[in-house]
Amino acid sequence: MAKYIQSIERAAEILKLLARGTQPYTLAEISAALDLPKPTVVGILRTLQSVDFVDQDTETSRYGLGPGLLHVGARYLDGNELRQKAINWSDALAARSRESVRIATLHHHHALVVHHVFRPDDTYQTLTVGELLPLHATAIGKILMAYGGVLPEEIAEKATPYTPRTVASTEELTDEVARIRSQGWADEIEEYIVGETSIAAPIRDRQGIVVGAIAITGAVERTCTDGRSRMDLVSYVRDSARAISRELGFIPHA
């Protein structure tokens, strides 16, 4: 009978816990969630910190995933068919829209960013590959919620109101899902970050299943007209989503 190394198993459980969270955890929260003694958790966390798999905030002492995991996961992301098929089209979308572009897939009720193209200008930008985005407050997340079989009430239970405009109730999210499925795209205007908006569209595989989403994100003054998302940008995003879907073998019915 195969024997497992308990310390590695526990380290994996800690990393999974940190990956599921929307914010860093305290030592007590990790210990309670995994039913492990604090000294045991501390030892594992220190080891994971030494290889950059875990970061600890110096001000709050809370723990989150570290940058080392991104490098380990890069090989997986490079082999991800969705990312590979989307690279050229996402680059073209960034150039056409003049905004940043993200590709994401559904992961534990979050949108996992698997590819990120910077906005084509000289402003400071941070790479977000590997970041988990909320389903209810981002356009890319809303697409994955609408087509991924995630129930609005499941999201509403733990939905964080990031700004005064965040859609967070079950009723609002249910209406949002219906609207997205009807029009075939999603947007959000200052629901996640004040001053920013995003527009997203679904990416389908050869069977017509939505396997991801593509989105642009930009400043509200560039992406909106009269308080609404610019329709030319909506068209750009949808064109890119359709092109990537074709690369994945999707053939729309006439």
Backbone angles phi and psi of 49, in degrees to 5: -65, -35
pLDDT, position 125? 81
Q: Which helix (H) or strand (E) holds 47?
A: helix 38-50
**209's torsion region: left (phi>0), alpha (psi -120 to 50) or beta?**
beta
Q: Measured between alpha carbons, how far is 156 from 55 in angstroms, rounded to an integer?
A: 29
Q: Which domains does the chain have, with CATH numbers?
A: 6-66 (1.10.10.10), 71-247 (3.30.450.40)
- Give just the sign of the alpha carbon dihedral 115, 60, 166, 120: negative
Do the beta carbons of residue 235 and residue 68 sit within 8 Å? no
Q: For every one of its 254 residues, what pLDDT tens digit does the chain have, with 9 covering 90 and above?
A: 456 788 888 999 999 888 776 678 999 999 999 999 999 999 999 999 998 888 888 888 899 888 777 656 555 544 467 888 888 999 999 999 999 999 999 887 899 898 999 999 888 888 888 889 999 999 999 999 999 888 899 999 989 999 999 999 999 999 999 999 999 999 999 999 999 999 999 999 888 989 999 999 999 999 999 999 999 999 999 999 999 999 988 988 75
pLDDT, position 1? 45
pLDDT, position 79? 42
Do the beta carbons of residue 202 and residue 143 sit within 8 Å? yes
Which residues fall within 8 angstroms of residue 108, CB to CB, at 6 or more apart? 19, 20, 132
